[in-house]
Structure 1
Amino acid sequence: MRLLLSSIVVLSLATPALAQQRHNSEAPIDFGADHIELQDKANRAILTGNVSVKQAEMTLTSARMTVAYTGQVVDGSPQVSRLDAAGSVVVTRPDQTARSQYAIYDLNQRTILMMGDVTLTQGGNVTHSQRLTLNLAEAQPHATLSGGRVTGTFSVPKRN
């Protein structure tokens, strides 16, 4: 899936307290949903209705989510490799919220790709795009907004 990028904006997602802290993508993933359908032969579960997953300090909510797992079971739990979310997707982390129509959380790559009417809010800054990549692997996580025209509002500090 390739998009021609006419504009790219990279924003730091780290607050001073989190500047040296990576997202713990090995933390357990707690989930809740109105309904679950297990498809063991396909190594996936389909969550629907008010879906919410929480991992460390990050929460991802959506209307529907497909949870793909490797087939390996460790300590009685399947090993999740990917989450595909659709419908009013919201990712919240300390001091930032990202919204879109679709998202793919690749746990192996430690990235979240959000697509479709993306809005990223961090403090007083608000940015809009069609695509957002959250890179959770770096000591100072960052977001890359791309796809078409990127627009937004940056807050300006008060001066005396």
Structure 2
Amino acid sequence: MKSALLPALLPALLALAAAAPASAQVGALGSPGDGPLDISANDLEVFDQENRVVYSGDVNAIRGTARLRADRIEVFFEPGGGTGFGAVQRMRATGDVFYVTATEIARADEGLYEIADERIVLIGDVVLTQGCNVSTGQRLTANLATGVSELAGATGEAGETRVRSVFFPDSEEEEGAEPVVREDCPVPEIPGDGPQPFEEG
């Protein structure tokens, strides 16, 4: 897995993000790693001519250590040359979108996951959480391969939305001791029943 979403070295830099109207770099979302793409949902629609499959209803797409959760996920494939679909190109997620790893959770209204480029774009009321630390903005662009992410605000008729980060220090049992990671941090609630086990017919 790549570097964590909000690494320990960034708090001093990202504290300035609350006063900056444009954007701020953050540590990358965790890379999913290798492995098959496992998708579970309540319903499935296949569009052969469009090389597209639509999953709806508490959709969970899992690859390696990462999970993409949404109300609806469209999966776009490369043409299969007459033998079915080819490789997955990208996924478009809408409705209560969450990108979840073992150490971080990113929430948004919409998401686009470019599989080949290992790039995720999350749009709309983005909330990044790692432990007790939280960053908010309107658009998160994360390159999972290079470990570089950018969180941006937005400018519109309602005014300017700035990015903001709130950091909580780790507790220390005594002076000079190694920091103790807090375990009393609230965990964002992810809707739905979660991934479903595979059942052979």
TM-score of the superposition, structure 1-length normalised?
A: 0.82
Structure 1: gaps spanning 5 or more residues: none
Task: Give the equivalent residue in structure 2 for 1:135.
Answer: 143
* Residue among 14, 23, 35 paired with 1:8: 23
Which of 160, 170, 173 pairs up with 1:157?
Answer: 170
- Tell me the secondary structure at the aligned position of residue 87 of structure 2: strand
1:76 Cα offset (Å): 7.5
User: Which residue number in structure 2 is paired with residue 87 of structure 1?
Assistant: 95
Q: Which residue of 2 aligns with 1:50?
A: 58
| Separation in 2, partners of 1:129, 1:79 | 32
3-state DSSP of counterpart to 1:41? helix
Alignment match, 1:146: 152
Conserved 8 A contact 2:104-2:129 = yes
Greater mean deviation of Cα atoms: 88-97 or 147-156? 147-156
Instruction: Indicate the RMSD between aligned Cα atoms, in angstroms.
Output: 2.2
Deviation at 1:94, TM superposition (A): 2.2
How far off its partner does 1:59 sit?
0.2
SS at match of 2:80: strand
C-alpha separation in 1, matches of 2:35 and 2:153: 31
Q: Is the 8 A contact 1:103 1:113 kept in 2?
A: yes
Aligned residue for 2:125, secondary structure, equals strand
Which of structures 1 and 2 has the larger relative contact order (alpha carbons within 8 angstroms, sep 6+)? Answer: 1
| Deviation beyond 6 Å, 4+ runs, structure 1 | none
Partner AA of 1:50 in structure 2: D
Tell me the SS of whatever aligns to 2:49. Answer: helix
CA distance in 2, matches of 1:152, 1:34: 36
Equivalent pair of 1:101/1:117 in contact (CA under 8 Å)? yes
Report if the CA contact (8 A) 1:23-1:137 is conserved: no
The residue identity in structure 2 corresponding to 1:146 is A
| Paired residues, number | 146
Give unmatched runs, 5+ long, in structure 2: 1-19, 155-161, 176-201
The structure in which a higher percent of residues are strand is: 1
Corresponding letter in the other structure for 1:157:
D
Letter of the structure 2 residue corresponding to residue 12 of structure 1: G
Please give the alpha-carbon distance, in whole angstroms, between the structure 2 residues aligned to 1:34 and 1:157: 41
